[in-house]
């Protein structure tokens, strides 16, 4: 009897522990399930030689040792001598063998790159993971483990991998009170109250996960900034995080509130041309670097959505950015100056960004086009920024919509390093409950041709500095991480974090290959599951576009929380916060005319780029309503009437969401039951919300088109009035920067 009780006590927790909660993300390192492959790997690997002369090499040794032991279910011995079947990892400084190997080959690995080579040396079969820097070795170690986790052959490895972009950064929109603006995965993982003395294990795992995909920077705080983080009390807490992250090659960055000299410095102005202000920032930076010698730099949102900035004092963005650049330059820090601006005048008298308040300049704004604002403010400043400033540009001209054309700033500022800003958190992509794999969105933008210097001047070449020969380069992703057990709330949110890191390292990777890698590591290598889940992921972004904003519709979601459809909203504080401003539906048709007969935003692009969009008959229909006010009876390329095509697209989106769930159902036998159910429930929400988007939008647009739904389109279940009265007072993600 006692034996049985003991058995239950021991096995029940063990069973529970085995359930996948997603905490380990893609670094699960479960035993290789394919027996012949396992044998093959076991035969090839029996020892590890890595001289842990630094904390980073020690971390690499720990990762390799513990992962290999669980993957191979075999004890891997650490050796100092070179033995047959050893993995040898290190730098020329840590290993004589690696010194010789790197001297013999002229591998161009740069600061962060690595090489993995299967070689035979003095009759011994070895796998070498080599780099010139410790962090390169850690990156190489994770890359090697990725090969094993994804069941790749390792007998003839000859890999050289170097990141294409230098600064690969996650931007957290985390507030000091732990709310996360546009966060859907719980509260902030930074526990400011407990720092600096309590180092949560999560900080270490956060760093490990990022290092495993090559992310090397973390902006800890929201761009809607709080000066308090720059006070001594908080800087000590920041230092505690920096000390953890450093080992994994991650630098910390902070957001700087432009008015900090007033708020925490006791000055009367924050004018960037005032020497007392300049000196205040210099001293502040000196103070930061005394605590954190490798501090990365500052990210600044200025004169946008209520944030103060240089324009508050009649100065330009360049003058503002350069003040920070001068304070950071002696320490090799960088400034990331955001170009997310769309006419700050309306906020001047408001304390902070609050949609829904009546702004003073709504009329002025109504006659303009928000699309054009960033270009108008920044283009003329090209060449005026210091060498350590990167101008950070959102991927599209408006705001992380399900589909946007690339921002016309890419290719328009050749003398300035432009940094890409993507949004991983799904503010406009179903937030915490929709499965939307974002790699195809990232790739679409990175591969878009700006024609800035002729055909082939793709956005990625602007970002990686190769088009205009910039030596500092960067890419940022607005993080989707919170303190939910699986970090991202939706298990598939992890794929967006993963894909961002992989593309930041190498934007030539394909979305499909990244999805395959991620699925194999996160769930299983089962062939059926991998193929089936990959299909879901690859279809998901287009599905979301179709059920939310097909054919180039944009910004038609609910005000403020940005949750759900609300194309009817016309009373927000600024005209350009209103969906009606963007879709411009009327009796004639739908869409924003940005051609020469409209706002002429198209003129901000190179002529060849303009050409693909300038004529509504030839325009790539994915972008049609971004650039044209299209008649309801317009003939589409497939011969259908525009109205019928719009309805069909919405229906296709719904059908895709339904198909995604059916497809997921076929996966049930292959993965953890809890995880299966979790995703299944989320897919139910997604399907219902897809139907809601379609019904609400089509009923609303029908009040203008006055045309019937085509036969292939399901009749909406409820009335337009029903959808209009829905309120979501406590929708997540609004933030609140106290």
Cβ closest to ligand GCV, residue 253 vs residue 340: 340
Say which of 399, 453, 672, 714 is annotated catalytic.
Answer: 399
Name residues whose C-beta falls within 8 Å of residue 101's C-beta, 6 or more positions apart in sequence. Answer: 117, 119, 128, 130
Cβ closest to ligand GCV, residue 84 vs residue 354: 354
| Residue 92 near residue 132 (C-beta atoms within 8 A) | yes
Cβ closest to ligand GCV, residue 370 vs residue 502: 370
Angle at 508 between CA 534 and CA 500, to 5 degrees: 60
Say which of 427, 444, 576, 644 is annotated catalytic.
Answer: 427
Cβ closest to ligand GCV, residue 258 vs residue 518: 258
Kindly state the tokens that stand for 15. 């069973």
Rounded Cα distance between 149 and 57, Å, is: 21
Cβ closest to ligand GCV, residue 418 vs residue 660: 418
- Name the minimum Å distance from CB 607 to ligand GCV: 30
Cβ closest to ligand GCV, residue 179 vs residue 416: 179
Task: Tokens 């979601």: give the residue.
Answer: 557
In 1-133, where does DSSP find H-type helix?
2-18, 35-44, 55-72, 96-104
In 79-222, where does DSSP find H-type helix?
96-104, 134-149, 201-212
Label each residue of 647-668 as H, E or C.
Answer: HHHHHHHHHHHHHHHHHHHCCH
Residues 430, 431, 435, 439, CA torsion sign: positive
**Is 468 noted as a catalytic residue in this protein?**
no
| Residue 191 near residue 140 (C-beta atoms within 8 A) | no
Cβ closest to ligand GCV, residue 192 vs residue 422: 422
Kindly state the tokens that stand for 657. 């969401």
| Residue 323 near residue 281 (C-beta atoms within 8 A) | yes
Rounded Cα distance between 266 and 164, Å, is: 43
Phi, psi for 86 (deg, rounded to 5): -90, 150
- Name the minimum Å distance from CB 319 to ligand GCV: 21
Angle at 436 between CA 576 and CA 433, to 5 degrees: 85
Rounded Cα distance between 418 and 603, Å, is: 20
Rounded Cα distance between 360 and 575, Å, is: 10
Question: What are the E-state strand segments in 333-399?
Answer: 334-338, 389-394
**Is 350 noted as a catalytic residue in this protein?**
no
| Residue 236 near residue 198 (C-beta atoms within 8 A) | no
Rounded Cα distance between 71 and 222, Å, is: 38
- Name the minimum Å distance from CB 203 to ligand GCV: 23
| Residue 643 near residue 589 (C-beta atoms within 8 A) | no
Phi, psi for 50 (deg, rounded to 5): -150, 125
Kindly state the tokens that stand for 135. 């962090």
Query: Under DSSP, is residue 306 helix (H, G, I), strand (E, B) or coil?
Result: coil
- Name the minimum Å distance from CB 399 to ligand GCV: 5
Query: Under DSSP, is residue 446 helix (H, G, I), strand (E, B) or coil?
Result: helix
Interface with ligand GCV (CB under 6 A): 173, 181-182, 223-224, 301, 305, 340, 399
**Is 73 noted as a catalytic residue in this protein?**
no
Question: What are the E-state strand segments in 370-519?
Answer: 389-394, 418-423, 474-478
Cβ closest to ligand GCV, residue 305 vs residue 546: 305
Say which of 63, 112, 181, 305 is annotated catalytic.
Answer: 305
Whole-angstrom Cα Rg for the chain: 27
- Name the minimum Å distance from CB 173 to ligand GCV: 5
Task: Tokens 């109504």: give the residue.
Answer: 366
Exposed e or buried b per residue across 492-501, where buried means at least 16 C-beta atoms within 10 angstroms of its C-beta? bbbbbbbbbb
Cβ closest to ligand GCV, residue 181 vs residue 689: 181
Torsion of CA 565, 569, 572, 576, to 10 degrees: 80
- Name the minimum Å distance from CB 583 to ligand GCV: 18
Phi, psi for 328 (deg, rounded to 5): -90, -25
Cβ closest to ligand GCV, residue 305 vs residue 645: 305
Task: Give, in order, the Cα–Cα distances in Å from 151 to each of 38, 208, 524.
Answer: 9, 21, 10
Cβ closest to ligand GCV, residue 30 vs residue 399: 399
Rounded Cα distance between 87 and 124, Å, is: 11
Cβ closest to ligand GCV, residue 173 vs residue 626: 173
| Residue 647 near residue 698 (C-beta atoms within 8 A) | yes
Catalytic residues: 305, 399, 427
């Amino acid at each position: 009897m006692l034996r049985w009780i003991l058995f239950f006590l021991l096995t029940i927790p063990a069973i529970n522990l085995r359930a996948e909660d997603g905490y380990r993300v893609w670094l699960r390192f479960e035993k290789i399930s394919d027996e012949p492959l396992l044998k093959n790997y076991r035969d090839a690997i029996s020892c590890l030689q890595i001289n842990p002369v630094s904390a980073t090499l020690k971390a690499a040794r720990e990762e390799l040792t513990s992962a290999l032991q669980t993957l191979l279910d075999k004890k891997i011995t650490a050796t100092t001598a070179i033995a047959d079947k050893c993995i040898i990892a290190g730098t020329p400084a840590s290993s004589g063998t690696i010194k010789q190997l790197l001297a013999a080959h002229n591998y161009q690995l740069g600061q962060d790159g690595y090489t993995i080579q299967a070689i035979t040396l003095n009759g011994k079969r070895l796998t070498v993971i080599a780099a010139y820097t410790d962090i390169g070795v850690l990156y190489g170690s994770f890359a090697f483990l990725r090969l094993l986790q994804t069941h790749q052959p390792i007998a003839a490895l000859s890999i050289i991998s170097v990141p294409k972009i230098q600064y690969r950064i996650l931007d957290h929109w985390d507030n000091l009170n732990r709310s996360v603006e546009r966060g859907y995965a719980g509260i902030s993982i930074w526990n400011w109250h407990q720092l600096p003395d309590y180092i949560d294990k999560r900080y270490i795992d956060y760093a490990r996960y990022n290092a495993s995909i090559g992310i090397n920077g973390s902006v800890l705080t929201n761009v809607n900034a709080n000066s308090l983080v720059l006070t001594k009390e908080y800087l000590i807490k920041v230092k505690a995080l920096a000390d953890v992250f450093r080992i994994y090659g991650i630098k910390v960055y902070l957001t700087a509130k432009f008015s900090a000299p007033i708020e925490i410095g006791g000055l009367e102005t924050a004018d960037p041309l005032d020497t007392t202000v300049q000196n205040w920032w210099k001293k502040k930076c000196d103070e930061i670097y005394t605590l954190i010698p490798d501090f990365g730099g500052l990210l600044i949102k200025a004169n946008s959505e209520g944030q103060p900035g240089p324009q508050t004092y009649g100065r330009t963005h360049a003058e503002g950015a350069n003040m920070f650049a001068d304070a950071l330059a002696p320490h090799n820090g960088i400034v990331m100056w955001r170009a997310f601006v769309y006419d700050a005048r309306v906020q001047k008298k408001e304390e902070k960004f609050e949609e829904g308040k009546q702004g003073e300049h709504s009329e002025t704004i109504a006659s303009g086009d928000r699309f054009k604002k960033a270009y108008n403010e920044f283009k003329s400043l090209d060449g005026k920024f210091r060498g350590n400033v990167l101008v950070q540009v959102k991927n599209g001209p408006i705001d992380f919509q399900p589909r946007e054309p690339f921002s016309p700033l890419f290719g328009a500022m050749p003398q300035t390093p432009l940094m890409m800003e993507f949004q991983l958190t799904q503010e406009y992509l179903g937030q915490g409950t929709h499965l939307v794999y974002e790699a195809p969105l990232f790739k679409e933008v990175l591969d878009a041709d700006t024609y800035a210097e002729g055909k082939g001047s793709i956005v990625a070449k602007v970002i990686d500095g190769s088009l205009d020969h910039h030596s500092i380069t960067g890419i940022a992703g607005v993080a989707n991480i919170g303190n939910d057990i699986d970090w991202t709330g939706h298990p598939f949110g992890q794929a967006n974090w993963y894909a961002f890191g992989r593309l930041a390292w190498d934007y030539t990777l394909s979305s499909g290959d990244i999805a395959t890698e991620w699925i194999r590591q996160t769930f299983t290598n089962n062939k059926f599951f991998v193929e089936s889940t990959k299909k879901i992921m690859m279809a998901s972004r287009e599905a979301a576009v179709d059920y939310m904003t097909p054919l180039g519709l944009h910004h038609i979601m609910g005000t403020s929380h940005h949750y759900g459809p609300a194309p009817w909203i016309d009373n927000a504080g600024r005209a350009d916060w209103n969906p009606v401003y963007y879709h411009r539906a009327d009796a004639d048709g739908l869409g924003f005319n940005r051609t020469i007969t409209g706002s002429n935003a198209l003129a901000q692009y190179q002529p060849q780029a303009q050409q693909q969009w300038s004529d509504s008959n030839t325009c790539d229909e994915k972008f049609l309503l971004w650039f044209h006010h299209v008649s309801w009876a317009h003939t589409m390329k497939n011969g259908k009437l525009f109205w019928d095509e719009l309805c069909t697209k919405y229906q296709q989106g719904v059908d895709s969401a339904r198909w995604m769930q059916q497809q997921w159902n076929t996966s049930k036998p292959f993965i953890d039951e809890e995880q299966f159910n979790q995703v299944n429930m989320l897919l139910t929400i997604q399907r219902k919300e897809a139907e809601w988007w379609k019904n609400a939008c089509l009923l609303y647009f029908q009040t203008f088109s006055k045309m019937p739904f085509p036969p292939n389109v399901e009749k909406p279940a409820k009335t337009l009035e029903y959808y209009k009265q829905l309120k979501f007072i406590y929708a997540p993600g609004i933030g609140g920067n106290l």
